[in-house]
Structure 1
Amino acid sequence: MKAARSGTKDGLERTKIAVMRKVPFLQRKDQLEEEDDAGYLDVAVSEVKHPPPQLSPMPEGLTSQQVVRRHILSSIIQSERSYLESLRRILQEYHRPLMEAEPRILSPRKIRPIFYRIREITQCHAMFQIALASRVAEWDSSEKIGDLFVASFSKSMVLDVYSEYVNNFTNAMALIKKACLSKPAFLEFLKKKQASSIDRITLYGLMVKPIQRFPQFILLLQDMLKNTSKGHVDRLPLQLALTELEMLAEKLNEQKRVADQIAETQQLARTVSDRLLSKQLNSEQGSLVLCETLIEMVFGERGQVLKSKERKVFLFDDVLICANINVKGPPDISSLVPIGPKYTIKWSAPLQLVQVVEVGLEAPQGKDTKFQHCASKRPSTVCTSAQNKTSKWFWAPPRLYQELQELQHDLSVVEEVTLLVGTLQGTYQNLNTTVAQDWCLALQRLIRIKEEQIQSANKCRLRLQVPGRPDKSGRPVSFMVVFNTANPLSKISWVNRLHLAKIALREENSPGWLCGEDEDRSISPFWYPLLACHMPVFASICHSLLHH
């Protein structure tokens, strides 16, 4: 209607269609949004005209591979039937009763975002089930299923619908949680629906199924491909179908991850008391680079672990934030929908002042603070510029370093003993050069094992030197934070992302055509190459010319 009022050709065509459909021009905005929903047409699929797929009895004389493929096809049929039934339950047992309830439990304006794109997903799979029934009916003559998946799920419409559902999923769960807290009638409605269902599955359990659907398809088709010979007519279509579904699942997983990170950032911003930091988190100019739950380790003076606790670490393009995780929530609500963790900031630091400290290397020296590396018995975790330069650090794991030092000390002593044993003039049964050399070999073997243990521990250990608040005299203070990552690749990812993010903050990597202060402009959505270092191009040529 907006286009019709503007007098465009497209608006005229839309107006004609609206008149043919007898759509009144004076409607509320939410009614228009409901009818004109991305071109969606709700087509009723009758199970009388289109019965669900049914596999015929197994004929005789099938090979073992054909029998296995029929069983996998039966699993696909049952899985799809169960999935479609779950989608219809969402619409029939939750969406429709909420929309028709008198008095209102929730307003339609709040109901629609919760069930966003469920109808469209149901429609896609209703169409897929019709095609699947046709293919199953001719299975014994064709034994082909891969091309059906390619034709059904390679359409852009499927990706668009699922993408919008996945992007909205975190928001939908937040709306359900908020409605449970503010509307007791809605909470009671969800409890009754769960109690009356046969499987006692919650609304969340039903709504998470679209997110799990394509990974389930991939597993089933992988099994089908394993039991399809190389010369089979279905092998290439199955490979194409797996490629399509894996690409689709990867895109959806990435979108879900980004949506979850945005939601976590927004939740974190609501708990910030610092205005400047809150402005940074809420600003569209800043972006989240990496976000992960890490284990913070605190060590004692003997190298023992005093405390370990989960922290959520947020790496933005200009600030690093460590947050406490609080997962407590009302038990009656958390049983129906995941509450999700709440975060409170423990510390934050400008990214340019954060340093990664690797074991075996001296800590990076700044203008104000100095750190040196060694395994020490001093249990200090804070260092100021006024500290003695010989003050050493536990870089962790301290206990392993201490044990390694003790072994190295014992080896040096045994080597001296070996030299002294060689000067003995008499012959003794258990005191000779051979026995002493065996001692040395045994200690060397223990040292190698200890070094391997240290190396293995360090592969998952991330050490950061973080600036703290100045002390009473105004001197800068820094402290060391040690995190355990889930695996070595995670640590490598953190080190690399921190390094690249700091490089991106340099002046030479701030293009002049990107103006963050200009509200009318938006930052370009592409990544531009980072300048890591300056390399003189003409200096060597000029130098050689001067000498010639």
Structure 2
Amino acid sequence: MRAARSGTKDGLERTRMAVLRKVTFLQRRDSPGDSEEEDTGFLEVTVSDLRHPPPELGPAPQGLSPQQVLRRHILGSIVQSERSYVDSLKRILQDYRKPLLEMEPKVLSARKCQVVFFRLKEILQCHSMFQIALASRVAEWDSNEKIGDLFVASFSKSMVLDVYSDYVNNFTTAMSLIKKACLTKPAFLDFLKKRQMASADRVTLYGLMVKPIQRFPQFILLLQDMLKNTPRGHADRLALQLALTELETLAEKLNEQKRVADQLAEMQQLSKSISDRSSLNKVLGSGQRQLLLCETLTETVYGDRGQLLKSKERKVFLLSDLLVCANVNFRGQLEISNLVPLGPKYVLKWSSALPQVQVVEVGQDSGDKDGAATAATAATAGHRRHDKVYLGPPRLFQELQDLQKDLAVVEQITLLVSTLHGTYQNLNMAVAQDWCLALQRMMKVKEEEIHSANKCRLRLLLPGKPDKSGRPISVMVVFITPSPLSKISWVNRLHLAKIGLRDENQPGWLCPDEDRKSRAPFWCPILCCHIPAFSSKALDLQVRSAPTSCLLGVIWVLHPLSLCIHDFWEQNHKSHSRGAGKSRN
């Protein structure tokens, strides 16, 4: 016990001294900029090009099959792309980071440099180790032809995911800091331009720093080509499949983190752009709103005869309880945008609460309960026929209406032709019927064009300002989505978000905050109904009714159709309770 205690004290003292000496592997942080000195939690390994030269594929031996020759070409592409990638990482650290840290007077502080170049040294270390192992595999390629297990061993480690995740999550912040420094510090902008002009390929700092995000998709494409040209039964085939699985999983995780980081940046940019509107800014600043979807859509406005009046790109944000539309305004100097992409500045156009937003689809009946579709149709062009709402492009619909009128006239002409007693050239029943068939075919083609155009046309009915009499007026807004799948995504997300806002889908629990105030949790599950597990009345029931009550208390339904199941259970529960009360009396 004494030895154990002394050993523990000795180890504690050594750890304390190591911390005072700032030993790097004992210190770890999860975010950049925590201190002036960069502390990454990794041992820095210096790889000498003399002791470990880059991998290089030698000449091909004689007697190789066409498939083996093709595999050698793919291996050469892997070697060449990895060498170029490592050189790009070194250029960032040597041509940009090091001069910025050594520059006097400093144009970028050490803390900001750490934020901009966060985790790049660790990424370079990972790929330097991979390059050493790759060189050995390339040297013995003609004897065993195996490379899949090298990718598995090199990129399945958790530290690779950690450093790339940190880099991807920090990328938007780093680009924002570079953009701000370019706008506010001419010396920094001049430094970036000189470095770009001094390089042989004229690649900007942004072009170099985006390569780590693109690296794993490049690896996946190369290994897919290698797997296609690896025959069944080959010793490397299973390892290549495992390597592809590892890399695709890693790329998917990084893509998801990049998507979340981009959405957060979009929310911050939107909040900055509408800072003068205090009410909406408070809504965006609160932690209860989530960004579900944002995309650049084209808003179109048509005239009464179907002519296109105006068309402009809008940025549409779907929040958990709000739909926001903003104008996209790209402002900035052209020379800065060539060095680093300038983010758009948003100008709020309108916002509407989700419960008041309605999606109007093709063929919707005009006799809706609230008359929304009728008001929308009257507001746009008044296109109605046989109590149906045609929601295609107005020009196409006008052409369809003209064909319908012509068909009605031709049908009347056909009836008159049938009453003729004489025989006349080009004026008989056969010719009249051909006219009718031709007009019907043209109407069918026009309806298909309208249907095809509506696949990318998103129509939203929004509440407008009331008229002079105080009656509410609905306003139709028409967006053109980039693809039919995009429209389907918008319709589905809007529908699910509106379901999540129903009273029965609000969370039935509260999270106590540090100041002893209750607030709703940040992530609310989309449910259909929830019932308290226990109540005062349930305690008076007999034991035989307890399983039903408990079952009702723990059912959390996830599908809208389960409302019927809930009603069925509730009715049975009430009838069972009444039966239990009668038996008790």
Bin of the TM-score, shorter chain as denominator length:
0.7 to 0.9
1:288 matched to 2:288? no
**Shift in CA distance, 300/10, structure 1 to aligned 2, threshold 3 Å:** farther
1:447 alignment counterpart: 443
1:61-86 deviation digits (Å, cap 9, x = unpaired): 11111111111111110100000000
Distance 1:377 1:329, change over 3 A: closer
Letter paired with 1:341:
P
Q: Distance in 1 between matches of 2:56 and 2:250?
A: 28
Instruction: Kindly provide the amino acid, as one letter, of the partner of residue 139 in structure 2.
Output: A
One of 508, 512, 516 as aligned partner of 2:508: 512
| Matched AA of 2:412 | E
Question: For residues 309 and 516 of structure 1, what CA distance do their matches in structure 2 show?
Answer: 46
Answer yes or no: is the 8 Å Cα contact 2:377–2:389 preserved in 1: yes
Partner of 1:208: 210
Asked if structure 1 preserves the Cα contact closer than 8 Å seen for 2:298 and 2:314, the reply is yes
Q: Distance in 2 between matches of 1:108 and 1:148?
A: 37
Shift of 1:326: 0.7
Alpha carbons 2:396, 2:446 under 8 Å: kept: yes
Aligned mates of 1:12, 1:271 — CA distance in 2: 57
Preserved CA contact (<8 Å) 2:365 2:389: no
Which among 485, 499, 502 is matched to residue 503 of structure 1?
A: 499
Distance (whole Å) between structure 2 residues aligned to residue 146 and residue 269 of structure 1: 47
Match of 1:297, SS?
strand
**Aligned counterparts, 1:65-104, within 5 A:** 65-104=67-106
Given the alignment of the two structures, is residue 269 of structure 1 paired with residue 257 of structure 2, yes or no? no
Q: Deviations over 1:41-60 (max 9, x none)?
A: 11111111211111121101
Hey, what does 1:306 align to over in structure 2?
A: 309
CA distance in 1, matches of 2:44, 2:247: 25
- Is the 1:326–1:343 contact (alpha carbons within 8 Å) kept by the matching residues of 2? yes
Residue 132 of structure 2: which of 120, 123, 130 is its match?
130
What residue identity is the alignment partner of 1:114? Answer: V
State the partner residue of 2:521.
523
1:442-471 deviations in whole A, cap 9, x for unaligned? 122111111110100111111111113344
Could you tell me which residue of structure 1 aligns to residue 349 of structure 2? 346
* SS in structure 1 of the partner of residue 231 of structure 2: coil
Match of residue 231 from structure 1: 233
Between the aligned residues of both structures, percent identity stands at 63
CA distance in 2, matches of 1:35, 1:543: 66
Kindly report the root-mean-square deviation, in angstroms, between the aligned alpha carbons of the 2 structures. Answer: 3.2
Is 1:139 the counterpart of 2:135? The answer is no
Structure 2 residue aligned with 1:476, among 472, 477, 480? 472
- Residues 10 and 485 of structure 1, relative CA distance in 2, 3 Å threshold: farther
Which AA in structure 2 matches 1:346? Answer: K
Amino acid at match of 2:521: I
Residue in 2 that maps onto 1:487: 483
What corresponds to 1:358 in structure 2? 361
For 1:360 and 1:543, how far apart are their aligned partners in 2? 42
Q: Distance in 1 between matches of 2:571 and 2:525?
A: 32
Q: How far apart are 1:309 and its partner, in Å?
A: 0.7
Give the 3-state SS of the residue equivalent to 1:76 in structure 2: helix
Separation (CA, whole Å) in 2 of partners of 1:538 and 1:522? 28
Q: Distance in 2 between matches of 1:343 and 1:128?
A: 43
Q: Pick 1 or 2: higher relative contact order, CA cutoff 8 A, min separation 6.
A: 1
Amino acid at match of 1:327: F
Equivalent-residue separation in structure 2 for 1:81 and 1:332 (angstroms)? 30
**Is the 1:42–1:123 Cα contact (8 Å) retained in structure 2?**
yes
C-alpha distance in 1 between matches for 2:445 and 2:181: 57
In the alignment, residue 527 of structure 2 is paired with which amino acid?
A: P
Q: In the aligned structure 2, how far is the partner of 1:303 from the partner of 1:178?
A: 45
Shift of 1:433: 2.6
Cα distance change, pair 378–147 in 1 and its aligned pair in 2 (3 A): closer
Q: Distance in 2 between matches of 1:95 and 1:182?
A: 19
Preserved CA contact (<8 Å) 1:218 1:242: yes
Question: Partner residue of 1:23?
Answer: 21
Counterpart amino acid of residue 253 in structure 1: N
- Measured in 1, the distance between the counterparts of 2:426 and 2:376 equals 38
Q: 1:285·1:516 contact (CA, 8 Å) conserved in 2?
A: no
Q: Which runs of 5+ in 1 are unaligned?
A: 1-8, 382-389
* Residue from 56, 59, 77 that aligns with 1:57: 59
Aligned residue type for 1:421: V
Distance 1:153 1:135, change over 3 A: same
In 2: Cα distance, 1:522 partner to 1:214 partner = 39
* Contact 1:298/1:482 (<8 A) preserved: yes
Distance 1:331 1:60 in 2: 55
Deviation at 1:525, TM superposition (A): 4.9
What number of residue pairs does the alignment pair up?
526
Q: TM-score, normalised by structure 1?
A: 0.88
Q: Which residue of structure 2 aligns with residue 151 of structure 1?
A: 153
SS state of the match for residue 335, structure 1? helix
Q: Confirm or deny: 8 A CA contact 2:379 2:475 kept in the other structure.
A: no
2:258 maps to a residue whose letter is K
Counterpart of 2:546?
Answer: none
Paired residues of 2:67 and 2:229 also in contact (CA < 8 A): yes
Selected match of 2:413 from 408, 412, 417: 417
